[in-house]
């Protein structure tokens, strides 16, 4: 049975999981503003925008296009749907999918499933992408994941789980950092949180909504860490 109270923590696999997650977080924060992380950051932007699109579809709206730009920006053009549900879906969706990927990395089977789903998504988006940055990103990451998968299955280089974990942590941290960057370190008046404050009847500013979403995003990462330890117990 799952060890929900995490008694006698931590076993070898749990220690490796915690250590790897910590290393990923440190590396991501240390290299955040370097070109080395740009491909991974663009993937997180894509997942952010894809989360807007999913929310639009779930509320019976129409997605007219998704774009990811080389400057790490992105846009999702939608028509219809529930606006107050679509707007927070970018930040919170990125954190949610980050949590899913972190949990998927705990087992090889689930890591393979996550990588396969990501591959299929990138291939589908490749044919509907509206700009060449997103198309290039899709092609590049499809090739990258295929190479990682081949190495996993045919050599002693078993890195698929760690790549999935890295992408998961990247999404979780990107969600929190993006909120901080857009609303605290510099005020972006067209951010999702500012737009949400305009349409939501609740008396809360864009910064207020950003703080709330940031806390929720951080809790997603904490929850993923806890559940990951439970799975490995």
Q: Is residue 6 part of a domain?
A: no
Angle between helices 108-126 and 160-180 (to 10 degrees): 60
Number of domains in the chain: 1
How many whole angstroms separate alpha carbon 174 and alpha carbon 57?
A: 24
For residue 55, the enclosing domain spans 12-61+81-232
Q: Is residue 74 part of a domain?
A: no
Q: Is residue 173 part of a domain?
A: yes
How many whole angstroms separate alpha carbon 147 and alpha carbon 141?
A: 10
* Predicted pLDDT at 188: 54
Tokens coding 72: 């790490």
- Candidates 35, 47, 36; CA nearest to 74 is 47
Q: Is residue 70 part of a domain?
A: no
Per-residue pLDDT band at 134 (split at 50, 70, 90): confident
Q: Is residue 75 part of a domain?
A: no
Q: Is residue 7 part of a domain?
A: no
pLDDT digits (tens, 9 = 90+) for 170-222: 998 887 887 777 666 555 557 787 788 887 767 777 778 888 888 899 999 99
The number of residues in the chain equals 233
The yes-or-no verdict on residue 149 having pLDDT over 90 is: yes
Q: Is residue 153 part of a domain?
A: yes
pTM assigned to the model: 0.89
Q: Is residue 132 part of a domain?
A: yes
């Amino acid at each position: 049975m799952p060890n929900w109270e995490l008694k006698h923590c931590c076993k070898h696999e749990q220690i490796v999981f915690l250590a790897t997650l910590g290393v990923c977080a440190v590396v991501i924060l240390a290299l955040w503003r370097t070109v080395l992380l740009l491909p991974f950051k663009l993937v997180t932007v894509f997942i952010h925008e894809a989360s807007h699109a999913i929310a639009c579809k779930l509320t019976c709206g129409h997605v007219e296009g998704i774009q990811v730009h080389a400057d790490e920006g992105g846009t999702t053009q939608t028509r219809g749907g529930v606006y107050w549900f679509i707007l927070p879906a970018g930040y919170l969706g990125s954190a949610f999918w980050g949590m899913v990927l972190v949990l998927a990395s705990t087992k090889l089977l689930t890591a393979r499933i996550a990588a396969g789903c990501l591959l299929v998504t990138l291939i589908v988006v490749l044919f509907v992408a509206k700009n060449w940055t997103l198309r290039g990103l899709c092609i590049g990451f499809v090739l990258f994941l295929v190479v990682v998968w081949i190495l996993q299955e045919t050599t002693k280089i078993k890195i698929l789980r760690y790549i999935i974990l890295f992408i998961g942590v990247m999404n979780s941290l990107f969600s929190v950092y993006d909120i901080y960057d857009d609303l605290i370190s510099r005020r972006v008046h067209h951010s999702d949180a500012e737009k949400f404050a305009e349409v939501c009847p609740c008396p809360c500013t864009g910064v207020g909504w950003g703080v709330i979403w940031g806390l929720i995003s951080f809790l997603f990462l904490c929850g993923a860490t806890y559940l990951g330890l439970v799975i490995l117990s």
